[in-house]
């Protein structure tokens, strides 16, 4: 009978052997289930969050860097952080200004224009459209399984081409043939994203990168897993037709006879031949399509496939088009898997190349030449450091200068190759580790290089061909050992000639789709102990498919035969296969092992979002679990454990006698079977098969349907095996962006419901990220369906509250992340116990409005941000604009401009802003915009309440002034009253003034100063207490109470508070210290009651309640009123501390003067003329004009 290597069927044994085998299998299965979840790298967690395994999906970066058309911004995907980093290039050197949350594993970015960027999320199967002005994701849409690249092209209209590497993963009928293809390109109309995309199906596996000609009329698609015209001859055919070629080198005389094996053969243009040039075509009725690059004609409104290019490489990557010669240069790897035996492949089993394709208009494209990027290497030599430091291994990205110079990023070498127009290497530039992306800035003579292993960007001077400096890509959540271990997968410096690495075959930690014969006729027999007894494994093992490194550490022993007990047993391969000068030392291998442990399969795209089985899959599952095979003894699941995200193996090595095979084999895992489709041996596929290798240890089986002839369950079993979970739930990576336009749509609400349900079921964590309350925020769904924010000073909010907060520029993206990693993505990215929004700010928002003299919004005004950063915004229908992620250092100038319009003020400048800012402009010729009532009122909302005005309040306070008509005395008096009303308002009393009293009660006055807090302290904490609060709008009182309940527990956990009030402090001492700071505001009865209350509950919440009660004490509030009123004149009107410049003598003389005067008039600010003095002062008026 046939033996299924990825789905072992037990042949007939005697009953005693079967019973013994069954007992051992069942025991080992239980052990294997325990082993599945061991060995992961824990993520360092914040206080209150549990440790979780770090899951690394190692998404393949394709075009991770892009420049905006105007050259002012550099965009970089931060793959592990699931963000897009935006760098300003105003100074010529990249300055990180924004980290915009996108989907999981972003791998490519393209700037559609200066305002809009498209980010391809490989793991989330989506594209995020980023508004570069607001620094937020404006829209997300699904595109298909594992997209890799995006490109804008077309001549009749602009179209967006998205490369979908997953394509189809399930044969349409579950049958044996594969005529549809595995990859896709989807074409979207950016001006009408609601329309369904056009889909072009590619008869190829893993389309990877996109390029276009100069006009945009032609789009080229590279195929990553295209193969190299090799396939496999079955062992049974080889054995009866002359056998294997004699081994070279000869077999060691001390070895036993080698086992019978299959044989890898290569197509020579007319026949399948082996290394002796013997033809095997009579036994192989198929050919291979070998599509390396596909051509799309985009010259019409409906693009179409216009041709394919063959003979490029085994794995084809990024491309660049030369408009002067109409040639396409393609980076590629060429693998030598047709060569047998490890000694013959040592350090020389793959070439890194650049292939040139003639792409003349109107002519069929064809390969014209190929250049080896390492032609300086003597592959017959023993290797040297000189060769290694010149290596250009694994070319992944390429760009071209106007003069024809090409730059190639060699990921495995840490270098960028400088090539002339013919592909000859002219220079090598050392950059960071793992360069994957290039962006050429010719106007500045700069080349920017993204280094994936270092997570840095190198700035290269193209004139001197040297690296000038490096900047970090952004925050990196990966544990340190994972970062340290990655280089050992990719580095070619560990090989003989500096040309190959582990990643040459285990591409991105996965597989290459090829079989290799890495046997060694001069090797030694491996003696392996199994549950069935000792076995001997011959070193001439025959062809074996490259196995994925994803999840292998939890499924030892390793390899198809189980001949490696742990990953450590592979250390000798750094010398024996890579040909390097040494193995890894203990620390290096420990880091490498940690990195490998982190590698994780993405979700199986064939699964439903909730992992449910449809009717046909239930039939297959029933057979898998219940059908007894061979004398009705064993079920499939007895060996292939597939429940609870298991790998599909019990990790047993099955004796060859039981398998009736020439060799013993381990029960293999069943994850990722859907990625192995693409072979059909019946030879009926027009143009040849996609892949030369299929299923089984040597890839001999073309389809799962050919494993057994039981027609009654073949289709159902095939569908089940192609749908088995990968260990990662389909909800992980799933996402949607809610906006004011779509938040009630079925698509958005249903996606959120699906994510929420999966999170509650433990399949994922649901995080929400985006602009909220003017800041970039994160939220995590809790078991009660509420959402915890990234600040300990805030109470959880409901889903409806989140949706209600969405607006243009304030969209929120909901996303599933791996279980346990929600806090990392949403709350505390550095796991230091201080939540993200509680950390010191490094960016703020500057937002505002352009209005006319009557207060109406003016749309279509261009507002620019200049200074340390540059950006452009256009006002909406209400005249509103916003700049997010504005640095807290440097000077930023906001300037409006519109045809035929004059603005007051002409611009606003903000220096070192540490809180969100507001700037309102009026289309008026007045000398000072603060003289306009509507502006005057709106500015008070910004200065005292930290928010934009609500329409009702804005109208009310404006009319209070305007009702005076032309009576100037009345207007002046009303301006004073209106101004003071903001300090006296309930909203300020419950927010800003409460912050003042909290500082005073907790810490007293600042050392050597008569005030308890600084301007920045008040502004920062007031924004926390006032979030989503607008008095007389909605449930504002409930919102204030919610904010307080969250604020005070966070307050008493601040380091400065705990330093003053240690956790073990006696309740009486605690209360007395607070009371002393207030000047003894508590009555004896109030004091004793509070001590008793704290004695009963001396927890964080108990302490928070005590501080709040003291801060809200009415006597205390009355005592501090005048002091706070005067201080707010400086904070609100002048936006500074009383002793800051331009204050004379830089002391508190001015403050003390106004406090004495206000006290003299018993708090009557009109008689004291305090408010009048401040709002008519030159310092205040100079904020808004002459």
Backbone angles phi, psi at 314, to 5 degrees: -75, -45
Residue 110: per-residue pLDDT: 99
Percentage of the chain beyond pLDDT 90 is: 69
- 1142 preceded by a cis bond (ω within 30 of 0): yes
- Residue 1154: pLDDT band with limits 50, 70, 90: very high
Q: pLDDT tens, 17-34?
A: 444 444 444 444 434 333
| Contact predicate 705/175, CB 8 Å | yes
pLDDT in tens, 419-460: 999 999 999 999 999 999 999 999 999 999 999 999 999 999
Q: Is residue 614 pLDDT above 70, yes or no? A: no
Number of separate domains in the chain? 3
The boundaries of the domain holding residue 1123 are 986-1164
pLDDT score at 575: 97
pLDDT value for 773:
81
Q: Cα–Cα distance between 287 and 293 in angstroms, integer?
A: 18
Helix (H, G, I), strand (E, B) or coil at 151: strand
pLDDT at 535: 92
Q: Domain for residue 276, yes or no? A: yes
- Note the pLDDT of residue 35: 35
pLDDT of residue 1039: 84
Q: Is the pLDDT of residue 9 over 50?
A: no
pLDDT digits (tens, 9 = 90+) for 581-599: 999 999 999 999 999 999 9
1143 has pLDDT over 70:
yes
pLDDT of 22 reads: 44
Given a cut of 70, whether residue 698 has pLDDT beyond it is yes
* Of 7-11, 581-585, 753-757, 1067-1071, minimum mean pLDDT range: 7-11
Query: pLDDT category, 7, cuts 50, 70, 90?
Result: very low
Q: What is the DSSP string of 449-466?
A: EEETTTTEEEEEETTTTE
Does 80 fall in a domain?
no
The residue ranking higher by pLDDT, 558 or 435, is: 435
HSE of 368 in the Cβ direction (CA atoms, 13 Å)? 14
Domain annotation covers residue 423: no
Query: Who wins on pLDDT, 25 or 1137?
Result: 1137
Return the pLDDT at 1084: 97
Domain end call among 249, 283, 317: 283
- Among 1107, 1122, 1078, CA closest to 984: 1122
CB 611 within 8 A of CB 763: yes
How do beta strands 159-164 and 862-867 pair?
Answer: unpaired
Rounded to an integer, what is the distance from CA 78 to the centroid of its chain?
Answer: 6
Nearest to 101 by CA among 601, 735, 802, 605: 735
- Spatial CB neighbours of 271, under 8 Å, sequence gap ≥ 6: 279, 280, 281
Angle formed at CA 471 by CA 400 and CA 481, multiple of 5 degrees? 110
What does pLDDT average to over the chain?
Answer: 90
pLDDT in the model for residue 694? 93
Q: Supply the pLDDT for residue 649.
A: 80
Give the residue from 788, 803, 838 where a domain finishes.
838
* CA 154 distance to own-chain centroid: 29
pLDDT at 505 over 60: yes
515 vs 626, which has greater pLDDT? Answer: 515
Predicted local distance difference test score (pLDDT) of residue 737: 98
- What is the pTM for the complete model shown? 0.85
Report helix angle 933-940 to 968-984, nearest 10: 10
The single-letter DSSP state of residue 700 is: -
Give domain status of residue 596, yes or no. no
Residues 6+ apart with CB under 8 A from 411: 393, 394, 395, 396, 434, 435, 436, 452, 490, 503
Residue 174 has pLDDT above 50, yes or no: no
- In-domain check, residue 443: no
What is the structure's pLDDT at 712?
65
- pLDDT score for 856: 82
**Would you place residue 13 in the very low, low, confident or very high pLDDT band (cuts 50, 70, 90)?**
very low
Q: CA–CA separation, 26 vs 94, rounded Å? A: 59
CA distance 108 to 119: 6
pLDDT digits (tens, 9 = 90+) for 83-103: 999 999 977 789 898 999 999
Is residue 67 included in any domain, yes or no? no
248, 266, 283 - which closes a domain: 283
Q: Which of 244-253, 783-792, 851-860, 954-963 has the lowest mean pLDDT?
A: 851-860
CA angle, residues 1120, 1125, 1128, in degrees to nearest 5? 120
Q: Percent of the chain beyond pLDDT 70?
A: 92
pLDDT over 90 at 873, yes or no: no
Tally: H helices and E strands in the chain? 29, 51
Sole residue written with tokens 């064809």: 366
The mean pLDDT of 684-709, rounded to a whole number, is 83
pLDDT tens-digit series, residues 327-348: 999 999 999 999 999 999 999 9
More confident residue, 32 or 724: 724
620: Cα within 13 Å, side-chain hemisphere: 21
Structure tokens at 189: 């109309």
C-alpha 96/C-alpha 435 separation (Å) is 19
pLDDT by residue (tens digit) across 32-83?
333 333 344 444 443 455 556 789 999 999 999 999 999 999 999 999 999 9
Q: pLDDT at residue 709 above 60?
A: no
Q: Is the pLDDT of residue 711 over 80?
A: no
Query: Which residue in the block uniquely carries the two structure tokens 């009415």?
Result: 1114
- Return the pLDDT at 707: 60
pLDDT at 851: 86
**What is the per-residue pLDDT for 227?**
96
Q: Is 806 exposed, middle or buried (0-12, 13-18, 19+ CB in 10 A)?
A: buried
CA distance 109 to 119: 4
What radius of gyration, in Å, describes the C-alpha atoms of the chain?
34
205 confidence band (pLDDT: 50, 70, 90) = very high
pLDDT band at 645 (very low <50, low <70, confident <90, very high): low
What average pLDDT does this structure show over 734-738?
98
What average pLDDT score do residues 990-1000 get? 97
Which class for 857: exposed (0-12), middle (13-18), buried (19 or more C-beta within 10 A)? middle
Mean pLDDT is lowest, of 43-57, 384-398, 621-635, 702-716, for 43-57
Average pLDDT estimate for 697-723? 78
pLDDT in tens, 1079-1110: 999 999 999 999 999 999 999 999 999 999 99
pLDDT class for 643, splitting at 50, 70, 90? low
Tell whether 712 is covered by a domain.
no
pLDDT tens digits, 1030-1055: 888 888 898 889 889 888 988 998 88
10 Å Cβ neighbour count for 974?
19
- Residue of 106, 195, 77, 211 lying closest to 151 (CA atoms): 211
């Amino acid at each position: 009978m046939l033996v299924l290597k990825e789905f072992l069927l037990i042949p007939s044994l005697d009953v005693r052997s079967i019973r013994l085998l069954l007992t051992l299998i069942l025991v080992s299965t239980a052990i294997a289930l325990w082993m599945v979840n061991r060995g992961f790298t824990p993520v360092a967690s914040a206080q209150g969050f549990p440790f979780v395994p770090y899951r690394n999906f190692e998404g393949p970066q394709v075009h991770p860097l892009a420049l905006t058309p105007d050259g002012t911004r550099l965009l970089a995907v931060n793959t592990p952080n699931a963000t897009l980093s935006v760098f300003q290039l105003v100074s010529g050197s990249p300055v990180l200004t924004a980290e915009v949350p996108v989907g999981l594993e972003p791998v490519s970015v393209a700037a559609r224009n200066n305002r809009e960027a498209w980010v391809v999320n490989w793991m989330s199967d989506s594209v995020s459209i980023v508004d570069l002005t607001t620094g937020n994701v404006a829209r997300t849409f699904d595109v298909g399984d594992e997209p890799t690249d995006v490109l804008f092209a077309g001549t009749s209209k602009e179209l967006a081409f998205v490369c979908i590497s997953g394509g189809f993963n399930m044969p349409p009928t579950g049958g044996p043939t594969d005529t549809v293809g595995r990859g896709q390109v989807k074409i979207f109309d950016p001006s009408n994203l609601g329309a369904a995309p056009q889909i072009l199906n590619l008869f190829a596996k893993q389309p990877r990168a996109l390029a276009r000609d100069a006009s945009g009329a032609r789009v080229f698609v590279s195929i990553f897993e295209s193969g190299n015209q090799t396939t496999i001859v079955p062992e049974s055919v080889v054995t009866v037709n002359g056998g294997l070629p004699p081994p070279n080198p000869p077999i060691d005389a001390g070895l036993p006879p080698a086992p019978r094996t299959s044989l890898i053969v290569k197509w020579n243009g007319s026949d399948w031949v082996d290394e002796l040039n013997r033809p095997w075509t009579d036994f192989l009725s198929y050919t291979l399509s070998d599509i390396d690059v596909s051509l799309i004609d985009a010259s019409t409104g409906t693009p179409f496939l216009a041709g394919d290019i063959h003979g490029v490489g085994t794995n084809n990557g990024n491309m660049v088009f030369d408009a002067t010669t109409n040639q396409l240069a393609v980076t590629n790897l060429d693998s030598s898997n047709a060569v047998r035996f490890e000694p013959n492949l040592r350090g020389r089993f793959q070439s890194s190349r650049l292939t040139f394709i003639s792409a003349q208009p109107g002519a069929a494209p064809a390969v014209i030449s190929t250049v080896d990027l390492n032609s300086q290497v003597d592959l017959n030599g023993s290797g040297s450091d000189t060769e290694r430091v010149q290596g250009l291994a694994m070319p992944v990205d390429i760009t071209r200068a106007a003069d024809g110079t090409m730059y190639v990023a060699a990921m495995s070498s840490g270098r960028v190759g400088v090539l002339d127009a013919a592909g000859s290497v002219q220079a090598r530039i050392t950059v960071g580790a793992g360069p994957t992306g290039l962006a050429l800035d010719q106007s500045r003579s700069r080349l920017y290089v993204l280094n994936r292993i270092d997570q840095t960007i190198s700035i290269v001077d193209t004139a001197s061909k040297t690296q000038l400096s490096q900047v970090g890509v952004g925050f990196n959540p990966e544990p340190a050992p994972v970062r340290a271990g990655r280089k050992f997968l990719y580095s070619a410096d560990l090989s003989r000639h500096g040309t190959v690495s582990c990643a040459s075959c285990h591409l991105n930690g996965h597989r290459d789709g090829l079989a290799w014969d890495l046997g060694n006729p001069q090797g030694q027999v491996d003696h392996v102990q199994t549950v069935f007894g000792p076995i001997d494994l011959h070193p001439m093992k025959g062809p074996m498919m490259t196995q994925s490194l994803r999840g292998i550490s939890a499924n030892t022993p390793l390899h198809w035969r189980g001949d490696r007990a742990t990953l450590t047993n592979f250390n000798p391969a750094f010398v024996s296969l890579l040909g390097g000068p040494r193995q890894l030392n203990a620390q290096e291998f420990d880091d490498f092992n940690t990195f490998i442990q982190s590698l994780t399969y993405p979700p199986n795209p064939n699964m439903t979002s909730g992992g449910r089985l449809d009717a046909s899959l239930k039939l297959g599952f029933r057979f898998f679990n219940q059908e007894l095979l061979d004398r009705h003894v064993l079920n499939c699941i007895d060996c292939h454990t597939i429940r609870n995200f298991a790998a599909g193996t019990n990790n047993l090595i099955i004796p060859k006698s039981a398998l009736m095979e020439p060799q013993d084999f381990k029960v293999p895992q069943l994850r990722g079977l859907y990625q192995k489709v693409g072979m059909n041996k019946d030879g009926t596929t027009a143009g040849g098969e996609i892949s030369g290798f299929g299923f089984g240890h040597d890839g001999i089986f073309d389809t799962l349907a050919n494993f057994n002839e039981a027609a009654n369950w073949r289709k159902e079993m095939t569908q089940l095996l192609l749908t088995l979970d990968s260990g990662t739930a389909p909800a992980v990576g799933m996402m949607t962006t809610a906006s004011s336009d779509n938040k009630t749509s079925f698509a958005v609400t249903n996606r959120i419901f699906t994510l929420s349900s999966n999170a509650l079921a433990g399949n994922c964590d649901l995080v929400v990220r985006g602009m909220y309350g003017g800041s970039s925020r994160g939220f995590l769904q809790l078991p009660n369906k509420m959402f915890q924010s990234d600040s300990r000073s805030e109470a959880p909010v409901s889903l409806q509250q989140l949706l209600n907060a969405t607006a243009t520029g304030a969209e929120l993206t909901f996303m599933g992340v791996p279980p346990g990693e929600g806090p990392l993505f949403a709350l505390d990215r550095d796991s230091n116990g201080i939540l993200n929004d509680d950390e010191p700010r490094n960016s703020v928002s500057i937002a505002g409005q352009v209005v006319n003299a009557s207060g109406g919004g003016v749309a279509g005004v261009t507002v620019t941000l200049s200074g340390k950063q540059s950006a452009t915004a256009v006002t909406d229908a209400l005249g509103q604009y916003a700049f997010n992620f504005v640095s807290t250092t440097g000077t930023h100038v906001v300037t409006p401009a519109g045809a035929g319009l004059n603005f007051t003020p002409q611009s606003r400048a903000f220096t070192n802003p540490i809180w969100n800012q507001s700037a309102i402009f009026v289309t008026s010729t007045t000398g000072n915009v603060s003289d306009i009532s509507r502006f005057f009122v709106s500015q008070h909302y910004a200065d005292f309440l930290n928010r934009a005005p609500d329409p009702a309040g804005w109208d009310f306070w404006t009319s209070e002034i305007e009702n005076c008509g032309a009576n100037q005395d009345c207007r002046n008096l009303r301006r004073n009253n209106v101004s003071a009303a903001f300090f006296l308002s309930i909203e300020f009393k419950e927010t800003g003034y409460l912050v003042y009293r909290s500082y005073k009660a907790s810490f007293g006055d600042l050392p050597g100063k008569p005030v308890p807090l600084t301007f920045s302290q008040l502004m920062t904490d007031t924004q926390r207490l006032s979030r989503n609060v607008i008095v007389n709008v909605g449930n504002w009182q409930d919102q204030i109470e919610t904010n307080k309940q969250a604020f005070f527990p966070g307050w008493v956990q601040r380091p400065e508070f705990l330093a003053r009030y240690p956790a073990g402090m006696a309740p009486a001492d605690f209360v007395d210290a607070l009371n002393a700071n207030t000047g003894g505001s508590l009555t004896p009865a109030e004091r004793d009651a509070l001590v008793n209350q704290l004695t009963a509950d001396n927890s964080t919440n108990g302490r928070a309640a005590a501080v709040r009660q003291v801060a809200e004490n009415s006597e205390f509030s009355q005592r501090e009123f005048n002091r706070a009123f005067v201080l707010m004149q400086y904070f609100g009107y002048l936006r500074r501390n009383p002793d800051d410049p331009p204050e004379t003598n830089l002391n508190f003389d001015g403050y003390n003067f106004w406090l004495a005067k206000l006290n003299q008039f018993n708090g009557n600010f009109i008689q004291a003329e305090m408010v009048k003095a401040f709002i008519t002062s030159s310092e205040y008026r100079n904020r808004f004009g002459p």
